[in-house]
Amino acid sequence: MSSSLVPGVGELFEAEVDEAAWRRPLRPWLVGGGVGVVVGVVLLVVGWPVGLVGLVVVVGSVVAVGLKLAAYFARRKRRSTSLTVDRAGVRVPTGQGPAFLPWETLRAVVVQGPTLYFRVRPSITPGSPGVVGLHRRDAWPVASGPGLPVDTRLFRKELGEIVAAVRLFSGDSVRIEER
């Protein structure tokens, strides 16, 4: 970690979203869908009864790629939010927009492979002072249970840099658990 990360008033660590990393998993689906459509069309041209199989292959390929693309576009709020760490706390991207957690609300950050899970203390509620963005029904059970997941491969900072920033800016008050 660089010496420019000395925490102070107005200091901020930001892991910007890596758009290319978000698009990377789409490539195999698009290629596979294209191959499926071509194979299905060839089977359709061959005729009955293989033509029926071709129709199923074409429809299945289009539906599978469509679902994958729909999931990609549904996560655009998560893609638009950087992971930021400062003296006050951490702003974590979620599927419904960013959530802000002050340091005193966090009990641990669990490192499991490339994913970080930000876990809140049991006494914290969505209405706790400083907590923002966890009032939604689907976000709160995750934050208070396994933790808000952040896949570090989707950001322009490495896992080690993010963990070091959490340690530094929290004053080492947040437990880091490696699994």
- Per-residue pLDDT at 76: 64
Q: Is 118 helix (H, G, I), strand (E, B) or coil?
A: strand
Q: How far apart are CA 3 and CA 59, in angstroms?
A: 55
pLDDT truncated to tens, each residue of the chain (179 aa)?
443 444 444 578 988 887 777 677 788 888 999 999 999 888 888 877 777 888 899 999 999 999 988 887 776 655 668 899 999 999 998 877 788 999 999 999 999 999 999 999 988 888 889 999 887 766 777 777 888 899 898 899 999 999 999 999 999 999 999 98
Contact between 162 and 15 under an 8 Å Cβ cutoff? The reply is yes
- Per-residue pLDDT at 7: 46
- Report which of 15, 170, 17 is spatially closest to residue 108, judged by C-alpha positions: 170
Contact between 44 and 56 under an 8 Å Cβ cutoff? The reply is no
**Helix-strand-coil split of the chain, %, nearest 5:** 45, 25, 30
- Per-residue pLDDT at 75: 67
Please state the φ and ψ torsions of residue 20, each to the nearest 5 degrees: -65, -35
